[in-house]
Amino acid sequence: MAMNIKIDDQISQQVRELARLSDTFRAKSEDASLEAQNFQEQARAIEATFGLRERYLRGYLGGDRDAVKAQIVAHYEGIAAQALARAHGRTQEKTQGQITDILSSYLSNTDQSYTTLKVPLNAVILLSLRVDQFKAKIKTALKEIDEAQSMETMDLFTKNAAISIMSSIENGQARDAIEDVKKAAPAFQKAIEDYNGAIKQVDLGALDLDIDDFTDLVFDLVLDGFDFMSIFTLNALGDAEEQMRAAMEKVDEVSREVEAIEGKAQGAVDTYIRHVQNSLTM
């Protein structure tokens, strides 16, 4: 990866200090984790010597109460050490997060390669949000359709006036939910078009970067001609449910692709940040 990037001296100093702090807490976490493991092994070794009095009576009625006490102490010392390891680990992660934030903010304003690399990530994050929103509406519609169909079945067999009213209400709610999906469908399809348009403006191939598969970040998402509007011209709830499930299946396909792209895009950005950090702290 080309690292001919001039980093401001103050930023460089901040990164180095935070990197040293991060390394310190990483080492503390590893030490505490090893200590926890030793205590746990000690507790298991003591417990392996227990007889019935120690195991079930905690050393009373002639048992070895000192051994029980030692096992309990080792057990809880292990728990405390593991908690300390997690605390140090969280501090290390927080410190590394500060480094990432500092470098990301700086590079976003000074480094064209970094800003170019972030275009696919920003585009796919926005698309992921739109996909989740559309999926939520389809899930709501499917739930309402299921409840309306159940109420229709009850109405068919009971012929009860109250059930008929409830069935009518449930049908109305189902159609409202389908209408919500109908209104959201164009925005969902536009979100995919916007994503495709954004990545077409990016020439990652022109970047001198040594990041595995980063060029895979730029490819169109397609719906294979699926007509989302077809589910809104149906009258029967059963037909609407079938088409709605087909729509959900297609959206799930898009969601899986989006998740994969987001992982690669985030990985590429993280790798770039890591190389910059390493160039400052080596």
Residue 183 in tokens: 């209104």
Letter string b/e over residues 79-95, b meaning 16 or more CB atoms within 10 A of that residue's CB:
eebbebbeebbebbeeb
Residue 153 confidence (pLDDT): 81
Tell me, what's the pLDDT at 213?
52
Residue 84 vs residue 185, higher pLDDT: 84
Asked if 173 contacts 151 with a C-beta cutoff of 8 angstroms, the reply is no
Residue 107 and residue 48 in contact, taking contact as beta carbons nearer than 8 Å: no
Q: How high is the mean pLDDT of the chain?
A: 86
Query: What confidence tier does 2 reach under pLDDT thresholds 50, 70, 90?
Result: very low
Token readout for 57 is 């009576």
Q: What is the mean pLDDT of residues 40-67?
A: 90
Q: Whole-model pTM?
A: 0.75
Half-sphere exposure in the Cβ direction for 186 (13 Å, CA): 3
**Tell me: the pLDDT tens digits for 177-236?**
888 988 888 888 889 888 888 888 877 666 666 555 555 555 556 665 566 666 555 556
Cβ 44 vs Cβ 12: under 8 Å: no
Pair 232, 178: CB distance under 8 Å: yes
Per-residue confidence (pLDDT) for residue 1, from 0 to 100? 47
Domain boundaries, the chain: 9-110, 112-281
Please tell me which residue, 11 or 6, carries the higher pLDDT value.
Answer: 11
The pLDDT of residue 281: 82
| Residue 97 and residue 15 in contact, taking contact as beta carbons nearer than 8 Å | no
Average pLDDT over residues 140-144: 91
